[in-house]
Amino acid sequence: AQSVAQPEDQVNVAEGNPLTVKCTYSVSGNPYLFWYVQYPNRGLQFLLKYITGDNLVKGSYGFEAEFNKSQTSFHLKKPSALVSDSALYFCASVGTGGFKTIFGAGTRLFVKA
């Protein structure tokens, strides 16, 4: 069965430090992977996606993610965190042959000034 795991409920990082939000997936076939961010009282906003090609994907607001097939991971990264990055982050996957998007449970990122 298709699944997405975000092993950390919360990540704390100081402003200016690099951040990583982890995601692992289990899908049949080649995965299509997404990261979304959710700010309070707002819907999810698209950050980036991996479809094929270069394993390092760059997205909005300076975020990037690396697809690692052997580790079935798609961790979200940013070289220098901002306080405004504090939000809820969701990893999602869609397996080939199906159209249903499966979301992880989310990771809350706190960036301290």
Partner 1 sequence: EAGVVQSPRYKIIEKKQPVAFWCNPISGHNTLYWYLQNLGQGPELLIRYENEEAVDDSQLPKDRFSAERLKGVDSTLKIQPAELGDSAVYLCASSLDGGGNTDTQYFGPGTRLTVL
- Give the binding site for partner 1 (CB under 8 A): 4, 32, 34, 36, 41-46, 49, 51, 90, 92, 94-96, 98-101, 103-106
Q: CB of 96: closest distance to partner 1 in angstroms?
A: 7
Nearer to partner 1, 15 or 101 (CB): 101
Q: CB of 45: closest distance to partner 1 in angstroms?
A: 7
Torsional class of 101: left (φ above 0), alpha (ψ -120 to 50), beta (otherwise): beta
Nearer to partner 1, 42 or 70 (CB): 42
Q: CB of 14: closest distance to partner 1 in angstroms?
A: 25
**Residues making up the chain, counted from first to last:** 113
Nearer to partner 1, 42 or 113 (CB): 42
